[in-house]
Amino acid sequence: MTARRQFLVQTSSLLLLLAAPDIARGATMVAVRVWPASDYTRVTLESDGALSATHFLVTGPDRLVIDVKGLELSDRLRQLVAKIRPDDPYIADARVAQFAPDVVRIVFDLKRAVKPQVFTLPPVAAYQNRMVFDLYPAEAAPVVAAAGSPRDSLGDWLRAHRSQLDGDNVVATAAPPRRDRRPGHSVLLALDPGHGGEDPGATGPGGTHEKDVVLLIARHIRELALRTPNMRVMMTRDSDFFVPLWNRVQKAQQANADLFTSVHADGWYTPQARGASVYCLSEHGASSVEARMMAQRENAADAVGGIDIHTQDYQVAKVMLDMSTAAQINASLKMASRTLQQIGDFAHLHANQVQQAGFVVLKSPSVPSMLVETAFISNPEEEARLQTPAYRHKVARAIFDGIREYLATRPPLARRRTLA
Ligand SMILES: [Zn+2]
C-alpha cells in the first residue's frame, strides 16, 4: 500500500511537470523573434522540435492566418503579441489561440496586402528548429527580373539577360535603363553591410555583433559619398534585418550600381587572429585555404539568416550568380588593392595582398565588387576598436578613399560597357 501510494505521488508530479505551460505536446517554444523592416517583416518561431504549418490570407481587412501543428499555446508564444512594434510596416497586430488540441492558430492583422513565405529551417549554428514567416509586400515580391520587365519564367528572364551575361558587348536594354550613363554623370556606389536580423555574423568576446558594427561603418561611407560630387549611394540594408546573399547582388543590379562593396568584420576560433583583409571573387579557386574558409563562413549567412530555397527567385538567382566574368574580377582586384593600401596606412593587415575566393555576394556579372573584412571582431583589442566611432570613421574613410582612387584611375566597368 505504501509503495503504491509512493508511485501515485511520483506519477502525479510527473503529470504536473508535463502540464507546465511551456511544454507542448510536440515541440517546446524556445524563442519568438520579430524583425520588422521596409523590405519585409520576418517572424521566427524557434522550437526544440520540428513544426509544420498551413496558412491562408483573408481580405477585408487583410489578415494572415497560420495554423502551426505540433504546438500548444505557451507563455513564450503569447509574447509574440507584445513583440509586434507599432511601426512595423506590415503587421498591425497579432493574436494567438489554441485552435485544436495540437494546433495553435496565429492571426496577423495586416497594414497592407502581403505575399507570405512560410518555411522551416533545420537546426544550424546557435539555433534549434525554426519556423519562419516572411511577409513581403504583395505588389512588389522579391524578383530578380530587371526593372520594368516582368519575369514570367526563368527562361524569359535568362533570354532577357543573355546579352548582359554574355560579356563585354552589352546593349543598354539588358540592364535596367533607369539612369543615363554618359560620362560626367554620377557613379552609384552599392554598400552592403553584411548579415543582419537572424544572422548576427561573428560575435566578439565582449558581445559585439558583426551585423551592428558593419551597418555603422557602411553608414559612415554613405555620408562620405553623399558629400562627394557625382556620387550616389544605395544600401542593401539600412536596418537590422536579414537580406539573403543573392538578394544583395540583385538589389545592386536593379539599382544599376557601378560598384559593390560588402562590409564585414572577421571572426575566428582563437582571439589572436587580427587585421583587416580585402577579398574579391576568384575565377579559379581560392587564393588560400584560409580565403576559402572565409568564403565558406560568409556564404553560410543564408543558412543562419534563413532563406526559402524553394522559391523561383532563389533558383533564378543561383543561375545568375554563376556568370561572373574575368573583366569583372580584374576591375574588382584593382579597386580592392587600392582599398587594402588605404586601410594598411593605419591598421594592421591580416594579409598584405587582396585575397580571392568564391563569395556569393561578390558574384555580380558586371559590377566590380569587393568584400572588406574591417578587423577581427573575435580579437578583444580589435573588437574594442570597432566599438569606437573614431575607428569606424577611419575604416569608412579608408574604404571610401580606396574606391575614389580606383574611380579616378579607371572608369567603372559598367559604364564602359554601356558606352560600347
Ligand atoms: Zn561577415
> How many A from CA of 244 to the centre of ligand 1?
13
Instruction: Using the Cα atoms of residue 144, residue 148, residue 152 and residue 158 in order, give the sign of their dihedral.
Output: negative
> How many A from CA of 402 to the centre of ligand 1?
20
Of the CA atoms within 13 Å of residue 45, those in its CB half-sphere come to: 33
> How many A from CA of 191 to the centre of ligand 1?
14
Q: What is the mean pLDDT of residues 121-135?
A: 95
> How many A from CA of 361 to the centre of ligand 1?
11
For the stretch 231-242, pLDDT in tens is 999 999 999 999
CA 99 to chain centre: 34
> How many A from CA of 275 to the centre of ligand 1?
14
Residue 324 pLDDT:
64
Contact indicator for 235, 217 with CB cutoff of 8 Å: no
> How many A from CA of 168 to the centre of ligand 1?
31
> How many A from CA of 265 to the centre of ligand 1?
6
Taking the complete model, does pTM exceed 0.85, yes or no? Answer: no
Give residues whose Cβ lies within 5 Å of ion ligand 1: 194, 201, 264
Give DSSP secondary structure letters for 140-184.
S----SPTTS---SHHHHHHHHHHHHH-S---GGGS---S---TT
> How many A from CA of 12 to the centre of ligand 1?
50
Measure the CA–CA gap between 270 and 374, rounded to whole angstroms.
17
> How many A from CA of 266 to the centre of ligand 1?
6
pLDDT at 104 over 70: yes
How does DSSP classify residue 63? E
**Residue predicted with more confidence, 304 or 142:** 304
pLDDT at 10 over 50: no
> How many A from CA of 329 to the centre of ligand 1?
20
Residue 314 pLDDT:
77
> How many A from CA of 295 to the centre of ligand 1?
9
pLDDT at 16 over 90: no
Contact indicator for 353, 289 with CB cutoff of 8 Å: no
> How many A from CA of 342 to the centre of ligand 1?
20
pLDDT at 263 over 60: yes
Measure the CA–CA gap between 408 and 248, rounded to whole angstroms.
26
> How many A from CA of 396 to the centre of ligand 1?
16
Q: Where are the beta strands (DSSP E) in 323-406?
A: 355-356, 369-376
Q: SS3 of 330, please? A: helix
Instruction: Using the Cα atoms of residue 179, residue 415, residue 145 and residue 53 in order, give the sign of their dihedral.
Output: negative
> How many A from CA of 357 to the centre of ligand 1?
14
For the stretch 170-201, pLDDT in tens is 222 223 354 444 445 689 999 999 999 999 99
> How many A from CA of 411 to the centre of ligand 1?
28
Q: Which three cell numbers stand for residue 132?
A: 519562419
Angle at which helices 389-409 and 326-344 cross, to 10°: 130
H/E stretch holding 369 reads strand 369-376
- Domains in the chain: ranges and CATH: 29-137 (2.60.40.3500), 154-419 (3.40.630.40)
Q: Return left, alpha or beta for 124; rule: phi > 0 is left, psi -120 to 50 is alpha, else beta.
A: beta
Number of DSSP helices (H) and strands (E) in the chain, helices first: 12, 14
